[in-house]
Structure 1
């Protein structure tokens, strides 16, 4: 959705100045940018919509609407949810090596790492085990026992016993063909308006791709026999999630989950693919916009996250989360190198941004000061029109934080992409 600003006369170089300092792409602000090439110095409505900065990303628009409606508590809650990544995922299925590997890979762990799910499981057959992410403690996986293959079977009893509806999403895993009682649990969840339940066929190292396709086809037939018109079964390689259907599963989850939860999940997952790194970068830029809006415009309102107009502690917190989310911290890089059989120093050398190595308050303050200085070349009127209404009285504060943190996110995401490419190249 475009936000149409008051009609103004704008020169070509002025438009590019504001794009540059706010780290926006001019091509994402069409059609106003194209019109400028032949309507230079003419009056027109500039669609400098912050919600259209990121292709296909609705999160920023949601946050922007909350700011414009003065629902500041909603924005603060969204910022906190994204920074904390409070997500609970249930994983149903037999407790074998494949399931343990899958739960570990979702948290970027290997079998021997601290906090890894063990195989065999250390809980009773009908027990429940929780595994928090070491980097994101509020991102938790819950190991649920398999749905019993008995007759008669009441899906409500299983769901009640294991508090099925408390999870943000549930994975119904299996290394074989889906069994009918699991489908009954799935259908019962749908009847309760719970859409975030997914069938996952975990690939065993013993199975050929032909056998895996046969298992997937057989599982789809079971779902169809239960009356599902458009059944889905996702084939997933537990130790290498970037293969097979996991990217498709993640895309479907992003559509099914509430918007903030979907992005919180993206931020909590390890950097599995290049596309996921890009999604993380876009989500962080939306988060930066929200935090800059709060910091730049509501210092008189008691919002606990905000201590002053330009609070470097907010920047430190966001960039620390970015470092962990993009797997740039030493522990994550060393773990990835170990999993890929590489020397850690080879991957660590790819971190060109100082914030990828260490997020310090001094470096964040330096970047904020540099952004303030850079903004001296941009007219106040232009800056005001890019701000949410409540932040316009202190537009330079907003823009400084936006520029400083967005540029940092760009640099850190580039480092993450380089490390990912190097690690995958070694894996191949």
Structure 2
């Protein structure tokens, strides 16, 4: 995803809303991040590579519930939707192949598949794309949809040398058809951490509105240790929003309201984090199956209790512990983080921030260990 420090822009927006006493705006931002509303569309010939890619975007194997089948059940001109089982508002859309007919009107295809409703569109192929597909790309760009990308699928018998030759052929073809400074991302459908997919995520993060870039980051499976670190950073904005709400509620003179809200919001965030970091049992088992490692070994790498299960009891315990440790937190740091008029609520703000940030650090560390073992980057003890 984009530079993790882009999150500071969102934090500054949240702080400005708090300064203006617009708690509703902060709450809306938090809900957007928790729900992960994002729509990705994949265009190109329907087949094993395309379905595998759509499944990998959601962390699924071909036999998992909700997986896109190799032989698409959709008619050749229909659009098919595949929601993420863990993040229902994250959808991958299977667009029909661009017709090879001549003459061809790209406006008709763009209108028919409703291009503009998607946050990003991937134009996929295994060789030089058909000219009609390039026309669709150009039409989308003319409509100010910038998050459209050419993806060259790496096949099983491809070598680095053959892929570079294919990439050059594709770039030459795109240039000859008038695409200015074309980019082509080489992607292995079943193992997205290879080749250019990380670079594609970086560009996606730059091209998408920030709230959508964060939503996509939180919805994607934990593919690499770098992505895990970026997810952890993205949660900081979400945690800050929650802590801000906590501080606002704490200023309300109603007994027990703050503690109830804190616990409820914290449970939602940490539940989201557990799913986003792929620490739930299904994700761990699925990763083990896809990578050919023992599921029990991966599951045993979860050290943090919240990685195994997010319970109210554990969340309350951590919030209470953070309250007790407030004396060790610099009051100057709190004053810098909180607007002047809200410093009376800084105690609740700081406790929430400290408890959730600590929990996310522990959970992310568990995921980093799991990913390292699953990808063969280190051996289990």
Instruction: Tell whether the structures are fold-level matches, with TM greater than 0.5.
Output: yes
Q: Over residues 93-151 of structure 1, what are the superposed CA-to-partner deviations in whole Å (9 max), with x where a residue is unaligned?
A: 11110000000000000011111000111111111110000000000001011111121
Q: Do the aligned partners of 2:80 and 2:95 also contact (CA within 8 Å) in 1? A: yes
How far 1:392 sits from its partner (Å)?
Answer: 1.3
- Which residue of structure 1 aligns with residue 74 of structure 2? 123
- Which residue of structure 1 aligns with residue 151 of structure 2? 200
Q: Do the aligned partners of 1:293 and 1:388 also contact (CA within 8 Å) in 2? A: no
- Which residue of structure 2 aligns with residue 358 of structure 1? 309
- Which residue of structure 2 aligns with residue 411 of structure 1? 362
2:258 to 303, 308, 311: 308
- Aligned pairs (5 A) from 1:75-94: 75-94=26-45
2:92 is aligned with 1:144:
no
- Which residue of structure 2 aligns with residue 369 of structure 1? 320
CA gap of 1:328–1:104, structure 2 versus 1, over 3 A, is same
2:13 is aligned with 1:62:
yes
Q: Do the aligned partners of 1:177 and 1:215 also contact (CA within 8 Å) in 2? A: yes
Q: Distance in 2 between matches of 1:195 and 1:56?
A: 19
- Which residue of structure 2 aligns with residue 110 of structure 1? 61
Q: Do the aligned partners of 1:93 and 1:147 also contact (CA within 8 Å) in 2? A: yes
How far 1:160 sits from its partner (Å)?
Answer: 0.7
- Which residue of structure 2 aligns with residue 242 of structure 1? 193
Q: Do the aligned partners of 1:391 and 1:398 also contact (CA within 8 Å) in 2? A: no
- Which residue of structure 2 aligns with residue 340 of structure 1? 291
How far 1:385 sits from its partner (Å)?
Answer: 3.8
Q: Over residues 131-175 of structure 1, what are the superposed CA-to-partner deviations in whole Å (9 max), with x where a residue is unaligned?
A: 000000000001011111121111110011111100010011111
How far 1:262 sits from its partner (Å)?
Answer: 0.2
TM-score in terms of structure 2 length:
0.93
How far 1:381 sits from its partner (Å)?
Answer: 5.9
CA gap of 1:427–1:109, structure 2 versus 1, over 3 A, is farther
SS at match of 2:108: helix
How far 1:234 sits from its partner (Å)?
Answer: 0.5
How far 1:226 sits from its partner (Å)?
Answer: 2.0
2:107 is aligned with 1:156:
yes
- Which residue of structure 1 aligns with residue 243 of structure 2? 292
2:208 is aligned with 1:257:
yes
SS at match of 2:39: strand
SS at match of 2:124: strand
Q: Do the aligned partners of 2:23 and 2:248 also contact (CA within 8 Å) in 1? A: no
- Which residue of structure 2 aligns with residue 266 of structure 1? 217
How far 1:286 sits from its partner (Å)?
Answer: 1.3
Q: Distance in 2 between matches of 1:256 and 1:357?
A: 35
2:343 is aligned with 1:392:
yes
Q: Do the aligned partners of 1:125 and 1:145 also contact (CA within 8 Å) in 2? A: yes
Query: What is the root-mean-square deviation in Å for CA atoms of aligned residues?
Result: 1.9
- Which residue of structure 2 aligns with residue 185 of structure 1? 136
How far 1:65 sits from its partner (Å)?
Answer: 2.6
2:264 is aligned with 1:283:
no
Aligned length: 371
SS at match of 2:170: helix
Q: Distance in 1 between matches of 2:262 and 2:228?
A: 27
How far 1:205 sits from its partner (Å)?
Answer: 1.1
2:166 is aligned with 1:215:
yes
SS at match of 2:66: coil
SS at match of 1:134: coil
CA gap of 1:307–1:88, structure 2 versus 1, over 3 A, is farther
Structure 1 unmatched ranges of 5 or more = 1-53
Q: Do the aligned partners of 1:298 and 1:390 also contact (CA within 8 Å) in 2? A: no
Q: Over residues 215-244 of structure 1, what are the superposed CA-to-partner deviations in whole Å (9 max), with x where a residue is unaligned?
A: 211111121112223100110000000000
Kindly name which structure, 1 or 2, has the bigger radius of gyration based on alpha carbons. Answer: 1
Q: Do the aligned partners of 1:179 and 1:222 also contact (CA within 8 Å) in 2? A: no
Higher RCO, 1 or 2 (CA under 8 Å, sep at least 6)?
2
How far 1:378 sits from its partner (Å)?
Answer: 4.2
Q: Distance in 2 between matches of 1:109 and 1:201?
A: 21
